[in-house]
Chain A
Amino acid sequence: MIEGVIGSPLVHGHPPTVADDCLLRNAWVCPEYVRTRSADLVAATAEHLQITLISVVIGAVIALPLALVARRFRRLRPGVLGVSTAIYTIPSLALFSLLLPFTGLSERTVIIGLVLYTLTILVRAVLSGLDGVPEEVRDAGRGMGYSTNGLLWRVELPLALPVLIGGLRIATVSTVALTTIGTIVGSGGLGDLISTGLSSNFKAQVLTASVLCVVLALVLDVVLLGVQRVLMPWRRRGEGR
C-alpha cells in the first residue's frame, strides 16, 4: 500500500507540509518537534526539576548543621573544608560511577552525587557568611543579652543571609547543569533526551533539551533572587557587594 518512494514524506500517509519539513531536514530549531513531543519534554523537565530540587534541599538541610559543627569545633574546620574541596574536584561522571556499587542504576545514585556537590558549595557559603558578621555586631548582640543560640538565629544568620542565598543560587544552577550527567545511570532528566538525541542524530531534540536546561537554571536563579528580596526588604535597593 506504500505509494511514495521509501523515505519520501508520502510514506507517512499525509502530504508534506512546511511544518513537517524541519523534522525531515533534521533541523536544529524545529517547532514541530516541540509541538509533537511536548509530553516527552514536559516529563523530562519535571524529572530534571525534581532531581535538582530534592538534591539542593537535602544538601541545604545537611550543610547548615555541618557548617555550624565545623564552626563550633574549630579543629574540625580544616578537615571539613579539605574534604569538601576534594569532593568538588571529583568529576561528576566519576562520582556517579563510584556510587554505582552502593545504589545501582537508580535516581538515588544521581541524587546522592548531587547532594555531595551541593554540600561542598553550601558548607563554604555558611562558613564565609558567618565569618563576615562584624565582631562589633556580635558584641552588641551579647550586650543585649542574647545567648549563643539566640545570637546565631537572631543576629548572625540573618546578617549572613545574602551570602547563604548566594551559595544556594550557585548550588542550584550548577545542580541543574550537572543533573544531565545522571543520564549515565539512566536518570538525567533532560540529559536523557540529549543522550537519545545524540545516539539517533536528532538535532532538534538535543538543542531543545539543552535550551530547556539553561532556561530551567535561569528560572530557578531568578526565583531564589526573589526569595532573597522578600526575606531582606531592607536590602532591596542596590545589590550587596
Chain B
Amino acid sequence: MGWVGDVIAWFQDPQHWQGPNGVPQRLLEHVGVSAAALGIACALAIPLALWLGHVHRGGALAVGVSNVGRAVPTYAVLVVLVLMPDPFGLSTLSILVALVLFAVPPILTNTYIGVSEVEPAAVDAARGMGMSGPQVLARVELPLSVPLLMDGVRLAAVQVIATATIAALVAGGGLGALITDGFARQNQAEVVAGALCVVVLALSVEGLMALLQRRTNPLPTVRAR
C-alpha cells in the first residue's frame, strides 16, 4: 500500500499546485470548457425540445438522439474532430464541439418528454381560460416539465465533466491532463491523484446540480417520480 503515501506526498508537493500543469489551473480549464459547453447545449436543446414537445412532434428524433448518443464513443468523436482540418484540429473548438454534441441528447430527450407528457387536462384547462399557445407553453407546460428538464441538465453536466476528462487523451487540458501526464511519465501517484481530483469535481457538480434541481422545482411538495 505504499502508493497511498505516494499519492499523499503528491498532493503535499507545492509544485503541483502552481503553474500551467498545477491543479488550480487544470481545474479552471476543466470547469471553464464544461460550463461553456453546458450553456451552449442548454441554449440549443431546451428551446427546440420545448417547441417539439408543445406541438407533440419529433418524438422519435428527441428520444432517438439519446440512444445514438449512448452508442457513439466520446473518444472516437474527439479523435475524429482533432484529425479534421482547421478550424477544428487540436483546438479548444474541437473539444467544445464534442462536449456540446454529448450534452445535447439528455437535455433534448428529457425536456421533450417533460413537456409532451404534461397532463392534457392541465393544457385544456389553460386553453379554456383563454391562454394562447405560447402562454400555455410558458405558464403551464414549462413549469410542469422543469423537474424532468433539470434531470436532463444534470445528466448532461455529468456527461460533460466525463467527456472533458477524456479530452486529455487527445491532448486537451483539464484535470484529465494530470492523468494522461502521469501515464506518459509512468508516475502512478500522479495518475491516481489526478483521478481523485476528477472524482471530487464530478461528485461536487452532481451534488450542486441535484441541489439546483430541488431548488428549481416549482412543485416542491410533489416529489418527482
Query: Which residue numbers of A lie inside 8 Å of B, CB to CB?
Result: 85-86, 88-95, 97-98, 100-101, 170, 173-174, 176-178, 180-181, 183-184, 191, 194-195, 197-198, 201, 203, 206-207, 209-210, 213-214, 217-218, 221
Contacts and interface: CB of A to CB of B under 8 A. Distances in A.
A61 B114 CA distance: 34
B192 interface: yes
Chain A: interface secondary structure? helix
**Closest CB pairs A-B (n = 5):** A91-B162, A210-B76, A97-B195, A94-B198, A217-B71
B176 A93 contact: yes
Contacts of A217: 70-71
B194 interface: yes
B80 A206 contact: yes
A177 B73 contact: yes
29 contacts: A90-B199, A91-B202, A93-B165, A93-B176, A93-B195, A97-B179, A98-B195, A98-B199, A100-B188, A100-B191, A101-B3, A173-B71, A176-B71, A177-B71, A180-B76, A181-B166, A183-B75, A194-B73, A194-B79, A195-B169, A197-B79, A197-B83, A198-B82, A198-B170, A206-B79, A206-B80, A214-B76, A217-B70, A217-B71
Contact of B75 (A170, A176, A181): A181
Contacts of A174: 70
B73 A213 contact: yes
B76 A98 contact: no
Contacts of B203: 86, 89-90
A70 to B, nearest CB: 17
Contact of A218 (B71, B170, B176, B182): B71
Contacts of A198: 79, 82-83, 170
Given A92-B166, A93-B168, A93-B195, 11 more contacts: A94-B176, A98-B199, A174-B70, A181-B75, A184-B169, A194-B73, A194-B76, A198-B82, A198-B170, A210-B73, A217-B70
Given A100-B191, A184-B169, A209 B179 contact: no
B124 to A, nearest CB: 24
B75 A194 contact: yes
Interface string B56-73: 000000000001001111
A97 B158 contact: no
Contact of A191 (B75, B165, B192, B205): B75
Interface in B166-225: 166, 168-170, 176, 179-180, 182-183, 188, 191-192, 194-196, 198-199, 202-203, 205-206
B199 A191 contact: no
A221 B82 contact: no
A106 to B, nearest CB: 14
Interface in B64-108: 67, 70-77, 79-80, 82-83
B161 interface: yes
Contact of A206 (B72, B76, B165, B179): B76
Contact of A177 (B74, B199, B202): B74
A228 to B, nearest CB: 15
A52 B70 CA distance: 14
